[in-house]
Structure formats: structure tokens, C-alpha cells
Amino acid sequence: MNREEEKKIFNEGFNIIGAIDEAGRGPLAGPVVAACVAFSRETKFNNKKLEQINDSKKLSVAKREELDKIIREEFDEVGIGVCDHKTIDRINILQASFLAMKKAVGALKKKPDYLMVDGGLLIPNISLKQKAIISGDSLVFSIAAASIIAKVVRDKIMREMHIIYPNYGFDKHKGYGTAWHLQNLKKYGPCPIHRKSFRPVKMVINK
């Protein structure tokens, strides 16, 4: 995956880039998780396995978990931001995604002076230069790295939720609205981590 976007930003005189992506915008249950990977022009990416970085959705579970460890070792810093189901229901999923992204940036010890964000929207109310890149997780090396971290963290959370709420198969579909999940949602009703503002959950509650 090419690193042209990163090179352009450093050539403009910026020193630390934070690349951001989120996981969990679409599911019916659980949190939305954002990751920000930070690096400078001096960062040396030595591990050749970084060449395998891609959009997290295009990688196997095993490959994501292998790359997650390497990314954490090779990038200067990794920040994580989480917004739970209650926050999603209160402020909506888009605003919760933005809040998770801000938390991820806030978790870094050294603040970036430029952010690259996956998707078509800039993060509102953040006083940093930023660029939104549609399909950034498929096109930009560092955003793809962030997508892997976010996905691995969220999947781990959903596997833990499966232990507490075993009726829904969160360990398999991670809260997405699969046929099996919808069937069990109707059978058992929503559990405490279901997003009550999402239509399929709301329909079950209304019945």
C-alpha cells in the first residue's frame, strides 16, 4: 500500500501525523471504537510485514491480530477511543464516532499536528489540521493500520460481551445484524448492550 499521502503531508512541513479510523458504526450492539496511529517523518518502519497492511475488512482474523502487534511496535504511538451503546443512543452513531476519534487523539502523549481521517467527513470541533479521505482504509497505509487496530480492539470487546450475553452470538458476528443475530434478538429481546436507537432493535422493543 503506497505512502504518498503521508509523504505529501511531511513535505508540507508537518511533523507528526495521526491517522484515524473507526470500527463498529453499523452493528446493532456494542461500542464504536476509534484508533489513531501516530508517527513522525523520522519514524523507521523496519518490519517488512507492514507491507501486508490493508483495510481490516480484507484481512483474516489471524492476520489482523498479527499485524496489530507489529503496528503497535512500529508506530510511535497508538491511541484508542471508545463510545459505548448508551452514548450512541444518546447522541447518535455519527457523533459517537467523532467522539471516539477525539478520544483516540486525546489518548496520545504527543499530539499530532495533522490528522488523516477515514471517510468523507472531518472531525468537528478539533483544533488540528485534518484531511478526510474516502476509502482511506483501502488507499492509505497509515489509515489502514488504524483500521486494523480499531477492529482488533472492538472484536475483543465483543468476544468479552459474548461471555456475559451468550444468547446472541456476539463472538461470531460482533453485533452486526446477521440473520442469526436478528432471529435471536426477536427470540430473547434486546440485551443491555443493544443499541436501542437502531431500527431492528427499536422494532423488537416496540413489539
- Ordered per-residue pLDDT tens for the chain, 207 residues: 879 999 999 999 999 999 999 999 999 999 999 999 999 999 999 999 999 999 999 999 999 999 999 999 999 999 999 999 999 999 999 999 999 999 999 999 999 999 999 999 999 999 999 999 999 999 999 999 999 999 999 999 999 999 999 999 999 999 999 999 999 999 999 999 999 999 999 999 997
6 carries a ligand binding annotation? no
Q: Please, how many CA atoms are within 13 Å of residue 53, restricted to the half-sphere of its CB?
A: 29
Query: What is the rounded distance in angstroms from the CA atom of residue 15 to the CA atom of residue 40?
Result: 6
22 carries a ligand binding annotation? yes
Find residue 20's DSSP bridge partners. 36, 117
End-to-end CA, the chain: 48
Query: What is the rounded distance in angstroms from the CA atom of residue 163 to the CA atom of residue 35?
Result: 24
- CA nearest neighbour of 10 among 23, 19, 1: 19
Characterise 169 by phi-psi region: left (phi > 0), alpha (psi -120 to 50), beta (else). left
Q: What are the grid coordinates assigned to 91, written together?
A: 447522541
Q: E strands within the chain?
A: 16-23, 32-40, 77-83, 114-118, 129-133
The predicted model scores a pTM of: 0.96
Q: Please, how many CA atoms are within 13 Å of residue 9, restricted to the half-sphere of its CB?
A: 23
Q: At 160, give phi and psi (nearest 5°).
A: -65, -40
118 carries a ligand binding annotation? yes
CATH 3.40.47.10 assigned to domain 4-163? The reply is: no
For residue 1, the model assigns a pLDDT of: 81
- CA nearest neighbour of 33 among 111, 136, 116, 118: 118
| Residue 173 CB neighbour total at 10 angstroms | 18
> Which H helix or E strand runs over 178?
none
List all residues 6 or more positions away from 95 whose beta carbon is below 8 Å from its beta carbon.
none
Q: At 59, give phi and psi (nearest 5°).
A: -115, 150
Domain ranges of the chain: 4-163
For residue 88, the model assigns a pLDDT of: 98
